[in-house]
Amino acid sequence: MILISGGDGGTGASPWSSIRNAGMPWELGISETHQTLILNNLRSRVRLQTDGQLRTGRDVAIAAILGADEYGFGTAILVSIGCVMLRHCNLNNCSVGVATQDEQLRKRYTGLPEYIMNYLKFVAMETREIMASIGVRSINELIGRTEFLDVNRDMLNGKTKDIDFSRILYKPEIKGQDALFQTSFQDHGIGQVLDNELIRRVKKALKKSEGVHEDLTIRNSDRAVGAMLSGYVCRIYGETGLPDDTIYFRFKGTAGQSFGAWLAKGITFELEGLANDYVGKGISGGKIIIYPDKRSNYKTEENIIIGNTNFYGAISGEAYIAGIAGERFCIRNSGLNAVVEGVGDHACEYMTGGRVIVLGKTGRNFGAGMSGGVAYVYDPEGSFSDYCNLDMIEIIEISDDDIKAIKKMLYNHVKFTGSLYAKDIFDRIGQTAGSFVKVMPLEYKKLIEASKSAQKMDITEDYDG
């Protein structure tokens, strides 16, 4: 699948200068990609998808005519469930409860899945009406049929009247057995992935109301291990999941990308070895433990053990990493508690919840756009502030309650990973506690202080944003 994203879309929190002046129209990208694939006899093997402010059935019809098989809706879907495009999603104060962790504001959210369904039905209805008006019965019959498009010269102004649209509407000749849309499909080998083996072992145990504790070997080619298993568990047990550690798999080797992605509650993955990028992406209540091969003798606090963009969009759960993580650690984390022994650039960016302990050095731009949650950084050299983005956070001294939280998470980290480096910090917590600093989002701090004041005064109020 090839995705062509137009320059008109993007996150609602983007500045106007980016939204209005970045990128190119998706129409140009789809047309050129579609034509190039046909000219190289490859179009039948590829799905083309486009997005970028698609809103109506007419947009879908034009996208199909220019060569798209699939169509992505973003902003319009958000608006259908109540977003009013305030464009400060990163500030945690969305007044309609769409993009916020504030419980009072989230109560204002009134969106329902049925609103999205209703909106897309209207889009589909308009698309079908357009297709019927030109004598086309299916989307596949519409794809690449540029003879159905023409230029409305009445809409062109002085600057655009001389533009030549012929190349956008060009329809190349099909070669050999190729087609105007995808007709051949690749066997991705889903039937042979490791998750099928995990599900097979889990089925037997859960039928007997027993837990699962097994050891397996993992390889670099085993990607997104745990995603299908989590789906299986969620289909049976829903969001509540299973009791902690009901399903416990110990892996040895090098895990491929997205190890433990979307890991559901009740599932624990322990890995002795290394892992690639996207560990724990979207983790949803599970537990991930990673430490080096027990035969190795390198220092965990000086060596990278997992790749980049780990625990992206984490929702809940626990993670204990005996080693250094790459860049973009815990981006958009909203509830995961994690311990790691060093991170690269951009850690905790856009974080909205959860707790992160970093027992070593950090890269630059730490905490950029962080609006919730808390991070504790072990900073015996006192240089951490040089690596922070202080636009939305502040660095403060830890309290007695913070020390208790740090001790609890450190104890678990040492217990699960056996990290000698972390054990030394934990054993000397009386001396090392003073080297921890607390990263607190400014908006989150205000909410906590306001909540404490209201509790002391026994006040109940109607929150008005």
pLDDT tier at 176, thresholds 50, 70, 90 = confident
If pLDDT is split at 50, 70 and 90, which confidence band does 77 have?
A: very high
- For the segment 346-381, what is each residue's pLDDT rounded down to a tens digit? 999 999 999 999 999 999 999 999 989 999 999 999
pLDDT at 461 over 50: no
Mean pLDDT computed over 128-147: 95
Distance of CA 451 to the CA centre of its chain: 30
pLDDT value of position 462: 44
Report residue 447's pLDDT band, with 50, 70 and 90 as the boundaries. Answer: confident
- Can you tell me the mean pLDDT for 191-216? 89
- What does the pLDDT read at residue 458? 56
pLDDT band for position 14 (50/70/90)? low
How far is residue 124's CA from residue 130's CA, in Å, rounded to a whole number? 10
Categorize the per-residue pLDDT at 16 as very low, low, confident or very high, splitting at 50, 70 and 90: low
Question: By mean pLDDT, which of 203-217, 225-239, 261-275, 395-409 is the weakest?
Answer: 203-217
Residue 460: pLDDT band with limits 50, 70, 90: very low
Question: Which bin fits 5, alpha (ψ -120 to 50), beta or left (φ > 0)?
Answer: beta
Radius of gyration of the chain (CA): 26
Q: How far apart are CA 324 and CA 342, in angstroms?
A: 4
Residue 80 pLDDT:
95
Q: Work out the pLDDT band at 443, boundaries 50, 70, 90.
A: confident
Kindly indicate the confidence band of residue 463, based on its pLDDT and cuts at 50, 70 and 90.
very low
Tell the CATH topology of 192-457: Pectate Lyase C-like (2.160.20)
CATH 2.160.20.60 residue ranges for the chain? 192-457
Q: What percent of the chain has pLDDT over 70?
A: 94
pLDDT of residue 10: 65
Please, which pLDDT band fits residue 177 given cuts at 50, 70 and 90?
confident
Q: Which residues make up the CATH 3.20.20.70 domain(s) of the chain? A: 2-155
User: Among 373, 369, 388, which residue's Cα sits nearest to residue 336?
Assistant: 373
The model's pLDDT over 414-436, given as tens digits with 9 standing for 90+, comes to: 999 999 999 999 999 999 999 99
Specify the CATH number of the domain 2-155.
3.20.20.70
CA distance 186 to 47: 11
Closest CA to 225 of 164, 285, 267, 167: 267
3-class secondary structure per residue, the chain: CEEEECCCCCCCCCCHHHHHHCCCCHHHHHHHHHHHHHHCCCHHHCCEEEECCCCCHHHHHHHHHHCCCEEECCHHHHHHCCCCCCCCHHHCCCCCCCCCCCHHHHCCCCCCHHHHHHHHHHHHHHHHHHHHHCCCCCHHHHCCCHHHCCCCHHHCCCCCCCCCCCCCCCCCCCCCCCCCCCCCCCCCCHHHCHHHHHHHHHHHHHHCCCCEEEEEEECCCCCCCCHHHHHHHHHHHHHHCCCCCCEEEEEEEEECCCCCCCCECCEEEEEEEEECCCCCCCCEEEEEEEECCCCCCCCHHHCEEECCCCCCCCCEEEEEECCEECCCCCCCCEEEEEEECCCCCCCCCCCEEEEEEECCCCCCCECCCCCEEEEEEECCCCCHHHHECCCCEEEEECCHHHHHHHHHHHHHHHHHHCCHHHHHHHHCHHHHHHHEEEEEEHHHHHHHHHHHHHHHHCCCCCCCC
Lowest-confidence region among 213-222, 261-270, 442-451, 453-462: 453-462
Phi, psi of 409 (to 5 degrees): -70, -35
The whole-angstrom separation of Cα 388 and Cα 363 is 9
Whether 336 has a pLDDT exceeding 70, the answer reads yes
Instruction: Report yes or no on whether pTM surpasses 0.85.
Output: no
Q: Which band of pLDDT confidence, cut at 50, 70 and 90, is reported for residue 93?
A: confident
